[in-house]
Structure 1
């Protein structure tokens, strides 16, 4: 805070800040597109918060920080169109039920039961089966009592799953039948009733798969009838998915073929921070690049490429001595170093291969230490 007070109580410092602000405003007036660069997002936001309006960018692809939602790709539109063309008969489906935390699955850690427990569980199962058609809710309660006694029986879970179907609770049925299949992977009843639950939910592929498995284990006419009912929808979906996968493979092969024949992508030249600016001097370099004129100049690919070329071999400077954009930037950079334009020679040490820019005295007027510009200096 003291530093800020000292700065704005120094007439010379205030004058320099105001002068730089005038230069920056001048640049903005001549080219308002600069306000759309991400580096100046804070300034753009400040103007808009004050009620100002930023002119729309004239660039075809303004480098703004704002993101616009991407429009759906042609491939996605095509897939959505194909999906809408897929005619599925959903008659007979029911609303999905919410799984109840009270659905008792018994003690899963119990792996052995006594003969007495097995008999009691069977007795409860028989009672449940007798009333299943008339009172499914009561039957579910009896099956649950049997499961508590014998949680190792796949048949008990499959039968309670069947009872859940009668009260339109397909998700509860799926949970019970899946547990039955964990206990006995060859339970035809569990596959049969889980397949029926999937059918009621409109999950045709899963239903067909379970019905087929049930028929393979233990064929019965009702399961076969249910399979024939879901097969048309299941096959339509299976063919549709195969078509999508085939298109994806064809697209990947096409892209791979194109990438082999395409030339390597050309990258725009980029001016990097010189290695010798590491440490404390690196902050000076970044401060230097915060100058709006310098920042704008380095966004010119021609200028950036020229400075990269010079930084690798100072002798290349002679190629650009008649380039007004490059020489103008050199003059601007030289003014940032103590001692005026002639002191820019010291900056050369910051670029690989420059070793000081004293040799510039005979190449256009940017003399090194102790060197005065020649009379035909063309930088002004």
Structure 2
């Protein structure tokens, strides 16, 4: 079969989808009879101009259908996922403290500063052993000033800060330590502890797990067990929240697609209704369209349209169809579309095709 014929048939079917009433055109009687013989259900024949179609009391208006049949996502407030009950016995509420000094990282540290930081670290460890946390913090801070990129010193100071119930400051030390050494088991362990004290249970468990894979110890294992229940609840809750967000986005996207589809269908119906004359097709003649001679009617009738795929495709565009009807009502309105190449091109082609040499009304 000739591909051109297939293309024309495809375009004709597309036109029928947007303007099903044209099946009642006299020139399409043969096709209408064929469809009836196949048992097809045909659209109702349009009423003559000036008569309103009888209204069925059972059939709600389109606007009513939209209002009553659409549980809009934005109008339906989804139930909030209830937060689980956590064991908050070890979660603390930080007070106000003076910020702990954390100097900028220094790439080149002299041997003298390295030795001094080691000496201060030793003194801080002694104070820590004696249970003097404040003195240990002071000495570790001095050691950090000498070597601000030492993961072991930073991790130790973080441990002191956790014991002093200052987990937020401990997090900063651990982050700096892990920047210097991502495999620092102590930094991961104490960052996990700081998050645990702050109620960041799932994050804490992740840090604990990473630390245990590198170098586990009895204290770390105790914290893992103690935090496990809260971490599991928090993980399940976060998963449920993310799932709800994803589902909401999917529903919102479906709703946008549904609305867009409705608007497109409505625009197509309005274009078809506006473009239908007494017989259901636009009136190309009688002087109503610029370029068409008086009494010309519709030369070639529907066959001329179906024989031009470009026009057929263009007339399926609501913007083009509305412009055509606007110009048909008042030929002077064509000036409104001078800056619209898409519409202007179709109008000129229609005038040339159906009006012959009268296309000069377009100024071409």
Task: Report if aligned partners of 1:99, 1:172 keep a CA contact under 8 Å in 2.
Answer: no
Are positions 1:185 and 2:189 aligned together? Answer: no
Q: Could you tell me how far 1:110 is from its partner in structure 2?
A: 3.0
Are positions 1:110 and 2:107 aligned together? Answer: yes
Higher RCO (CA < 8 A, seq sep 6+): 2
Show the 5 A alignment for 1:135-154: 135-154=132-151
User: 2:209 maps to which residue?
Assistant: 212
User: 1:129 maps to which residue?
Assistant: 125
Q: Could you tell me how far 1:349 is from its partner in structure 2?
A: 6.2
Q: Could you tell me how far 1:252 is from its partner in structure 2?
A: 8.3
Show the 5 A alignment for 1:1-380: 71=75, 73-74=77-78, 77=79, 80-81=80-81, 83-84=82-83, 86-96=84-94, 102-114=99-111, 116-132=112-128, 134-243=131-240, 265=262, 267=264, 307=274, 314-315=284-285, 346-347=332-333, 352=347
Unaligned runs of 5+ in 1: 1-58, 62-69, 272-300, 320-332, 335-342, 360-380
- In the superposition, the TM-score normalised over structure 2's length comes to 0.51
Unaligned runs of 5+ in 2: 1-62, 66-73, 289-296, 299-325, 338-346, 356-364
**CA RMSD between the two structures:** 4.7
Deviations 1:175-225 (A, max 9, x none): 001111111122111111111111100111111111122221111101100
2-structure distance, mates of 1:250, 1:345 = 51
User: 1:67 maps to which residue?
Assistant: none
Task: Report if aligned partners of 2:103, 2:148 keep a CA contact under 8 Å in 1.
Answer: yes
Task: Report if aligned partners of 1:97, 1:172 keep a CA contact under 8 Å in 2.
Answer: no
Q: Could you tell me how far 1:163 is from its partner in structure 2?
A: 1.2
1-structure distance, mates of 2:136, 2:247 = 54
2-structure distance, mates of 1:162, 1:95 = 17
Q: Could you tell me how far 1:119 is from its partner in structure 2?
A: 2.3
1-structure distance, mates of 2:166, 2:215 = 25
- 346-355 or 105-114, which moves further after superposition? 346-355
Deviations 1:251-280 (A, max 9, x none): 8899999999xx965525559xxxxxxxxx
2-structure distance, mates of 1:177, 1:348 = 72
Deviations 1:142-180 (A, max 9, x none): 111111112231111011111111221101001001111
- In the superposition, the TM-score normalised over structure 1's length comes to 0.49
1-structure distance, mates of 2:267, 2:243 = 41
Aligned residues: 233
Deviations 1:61-103 (A, max 9, x none): 9xxxxxxxx55632xx1xx23x33x221112211246786x53
Q: Could you tell me how far 1:105 is from its partner in structure 2?
A: 2.2
Relative to 1, partners in 2 of residues 1:196 and 1:247: Cα closer, same or farther, differing over 3 Å?
Answer: same
SS at match of 1:141: helix
